[in-house]
Amino acid sequence: MVITTMVLFVATLVINEWLWTRTEFVRGINWIYLPAGVRLLSTLLFAEAGALGLLLVSWLVSYFYFFPNDLLRSFAGGILATLAPYSIYRFAQHAYGLHASLANLTPKRLLVLSVAYSIASPLLHHLWFALQGQDNLVQGLMIMFIGDLSGTLLMIYTVKLALSLPSGSPRMR
């Protein structure tokens, strides 16, 4: 599950970069960010294994792609990128009695978790940015919220749609 999370994250990052690089606000903040959906899905589906995969892949892409040779930013960014979805997963366990099968995760609850995650992740990141003395915090926070929410909703409902298709459908053969 750790490797699966890492592969899915990198795949959605590549797709995201291919489709929406030109709409990037600043490095690492996009108007649509598909990997955000992988972050939430992997923690909901794989729990701690998903969180570990996210932590490792976040460190790798932060250090080798987004912020080459900036060890502090990459280290902190990886922790923040993992802490937000894992916190939402823990919230879902407590508030909804989340089962491993996710059977009790209704579309409404899924939407609530997506919005909560899309608030938590930008908020954690921008608290860190504020401590580092960066500017454009409010604008960056809003764009990151929009990007995380749009990417999360696209990913989650695409997966939900794919899982709801009948496996015996002629289109699926």
Q: Give the model confidence (pLDDT) of 107-132 as tens digits.
A: 899 999 999 999 999 999 999 999 98
Q: Is the pTM of this model over 0.85?
A: yes
Q: How confident is the model at residue 167 (pLDDT cuts 50, 70, 90)?
A: low
What pLDDT does 69 receive?
A: 84
Mean local confidence (pLDDT), 157-172: 69
- Reference 143, options 165, 169, 125; nearest CA is 125
Mean local confidence (pLDDT), 145-169: 84
Q: Is the pLDDT of residue 156 over 50?
A: yes
Start-end of H helices in the chain: 2-20, 35-61, 71-96, 107-131, 137-164
> From the CB of residue 169, how many other CB atoms can be counted at a distance below 10 Å?
8
What pLDDT does 103 receive?
A: 77
- Reference 48, options 89, 103, 7; nearest CA is 89
Residue keyed to tokens 């003395």: 133
> May I ask the CATH architecture of the domain 2-161?
Orthogonal Bundle (1.10)
Q: How confident is the model at residue 44 (pLDDT cuts 50, 70, 90)?
A: very high
Query: What sign does the CA torsion over 67, 72, 77, 78 have?
Result: positive
